[in-house]
A and B are shown apart, each in its own frame.
Chain A
């Protein structure tokens, strides 16, 4: 679990929610001002009002939500693609879900496979994405976390993620930056809100 949280701009109201996530809050005013240069531990999550230009820290953007909603009908939402970013997000999301007693929803939206008539989204998944899904299922079972998964054929990936998160009443989207993405990371584009998002830190060297 995260050791502590730095609380910068306009995120103070989430302190209560962060406490529920077993975060020790570091409300030292200078820290966020200096955060641009500060070295932080790998298990520190930064509560922030805006996306920070750093990929080495977990960033939690609460937007307008006052706290993480722990109701039974809520879930932690983990979008995944055909690469390892979904697995990295799940590594953060599953312990968090277990701690909070919430279920996890793994979500994937796939591109339509040309020439395939099927309206079943699973049929359009590529082999890599299927492999990631199997890995996520295994992680869910091993972590003893209640989970579901949903595959869709959304017209737009970002809109598909946000809409599915809204429809499934996600309290938090946990995502990680893809290591190969140069422009238009979905993780970063989710920082437009409105569902609170936890963007996982990128491992050193990745």
Chain B
């Protein structure tokens, strides 16, 4: 039963019934009392019936599933409808302003008031205008709520238009009351101007929403920043490299490129977790629905070459205390902080000629484009001299945390 009342088609059925009641009442009473205003409003509601049928068609079309030809579905037809409703409502507001101003001028020039009806029909006229206004307000609330819940922008736009109709009807009712009770038919006109202002405001909101979706406008830099923070907060995510958002109908489309160093299995789980967090965020910000396209890439491997000065002591490879006591240097290619390739370069020069050995290592490091040299303890006198010399060649001397080359992935 709940499902039945939450169906957009049920809502539009209610809307159609409402318009049928309004048309019958307004045309009936309008013709009976010879009121062109009420009769005209009745014919306006006849046009609304066709608009309601159009909404049903738009909803049906937008609910068709995505296909190869329409990978994101056909939700944008609702945005197109919203743009049209926005324009139509703005034109209607212009018409209300024109009627109010011309009516007020005519009244001040001594013309008779628009509604000159005997007291005999007063309750009927008031009943129809007030009842119509209340009906519009009630049904518009129902339309907007279900439209938001079900993600149908066309339903929301039509609901907002119905609400505007209700406001016009309320202004008309106030005008009728002013005429009957205070003999001041002009009261209707300032109220109508306020209604016109509200109509413009609503028209702009509806138009802007539809236009934004049609033009694939971002859902907002603030929202994108929040989504970026949510994703980057997850363990294993290095950074969000790219984020694009837009709407198709009421549905948010999110395109993300995320940098991680994880394998495909973990990336799959990360994707699921991201979807949960992003959907929660979008719901909290009153977005209705979303499709997320998340792809992964590796961050920049931050490639560089590190040299590790080593010698063999009692059969074990160790990081040397100083450069000149090294048997060799290991030139390591580093990617993502790990050694992916290492080559050993022996120094055959005599240990007696310290400077010659140091220069040999320096030249080798420069030739191999190493940017870092690791020794176990550089804070000796010789070490400081070496550091100064290497620094001039753009090579940093690093003090190893231990003697075991395994620390440096060797």
A residues neighboring B (CB under 8 Å): 9-10, 29-30, 32-33, 63-65, 159, 162-163, 166-167, 169, 192-196
Can you give 27 contacting A-B residue pairs, CB < 8 Å? A10-B337, A29-B402, A30-B402, A33-B402, A33-B404, A63-B235, A63-B236, A64-B235, A64-B238, A159-B265, A162-B269, A163-B272, A163-B273, A166-B234, A166-B235, A166-B272, A166-B273, A167-B273, A167-B276, A169-B233, A192-B266, A193-B262, A193-B266, A194-B235, A194-B236, A195-B235, A195-B236
Interface set, chain B 384-410, CB cutoff 8 A to A: 400-404, 406-407
Question: Which 7 pairs, one residue from A and one from B, show the smallest C-beta to C-beta distance?
Answer: A194-B236, A166-B273, A29-B401, A194-B235, A33-B402, A29-B402, A33-B404
Q: Given the complex of chains A and B, what is the CA–CA distance between A166 and B265 in angstroms?
A: 14
Q: Are the C-beta atoms of A32 and B402 separated by less than 8 Å?
A: yes
B311 beta carbon closer than 8 Å to chain A: no
CA distance A9 to B337 in the complex (A): 12
Residues of B within 8 A of A65 (CB): 235
- B235 & A193 in contact (Cβ 8 Å cutoff): yes
Q: How far is the CB of B349 from chain A (nearest CB, A)?
A: 30
Whether, in the assembled complex, B141 has its beta carbon less than 8 Å from a beta carbon of chain A, the answer is: no
Report chain A residues within 8 Å CB of B44.
none
Chain A residues lying within 8 Å of B402, measured Cβ to Cβ, are 29-30, 32-33
* Distance, CA A91 to CA B387, complexed state (A): 50
In the assembled complex, B261 has its CB within 8 A of some CB on chain A: yes
B404 surroundings in chain A (CB, below 8 A):
33
Q: Give the one of B233, B235, B265, B276 with max A CB within 10 A.
A: B235
B63 is an interface residue with CB less than 8 A from chain A: no
CB distance from B399 to the nearest CB of A (A): 9
The closest CB in chain B to the CB of A192 belongs to B266
Known: A33-B402, A33-B404, A162-B269. A64 touches B277 (CB 8 A): no
Q: Are B266 and A194 in contact (CB under 8 A)?
A: yes
**Interface magnitude class on chain B:** 20 to 34
B80 nearest CB across to chain A (Å): 37
Residue of A33, A167, A192, A196 near B277 (CB, 8 A) is A167
CB of B337 within 8 A of CB of A196, answer no
Question: Hey, which chain A residues are within 8 Å of B263, CB to CB?
Answer: 192
User: B262 — which chain A residues lie within 8 A by C-beta?
Assistant: 193-194
Per-residue contact bits, chain B 255-281, to A (CB 8 Å; 1 contact, 0 not): 000001111011001101100110000
Tell me the complex Cα distance, A65–B266, Å: 15
Extra inter-chain contacts (14) besides given A29-B401, A193-B235, CB under 8 Å? A33-B402, A64-B235, A64-B236, A64-B238, A65-B235, A163-B272, A166-B234, A166-B273, A167-B276, A169-B233, A193-B262, A194-B235, A194-B270, A195-B235
Q: Which residues of A contact B260 (CB under 8 A)?
A: 194
Chain A residues with CB under 8 Å of B400's CB are 29
Q: Which residues of B contact A169 (CB under 8 A)?
A: 233
What's the nearest-Cβ distance from chain A to residue B332, in Å? 15
Q: How far, in Å, is B409 (CB) from chain A's closest CB?
A: 9
Q: How far is the CA of A159 from the CA of B276 in the complex (A)?
A: 15
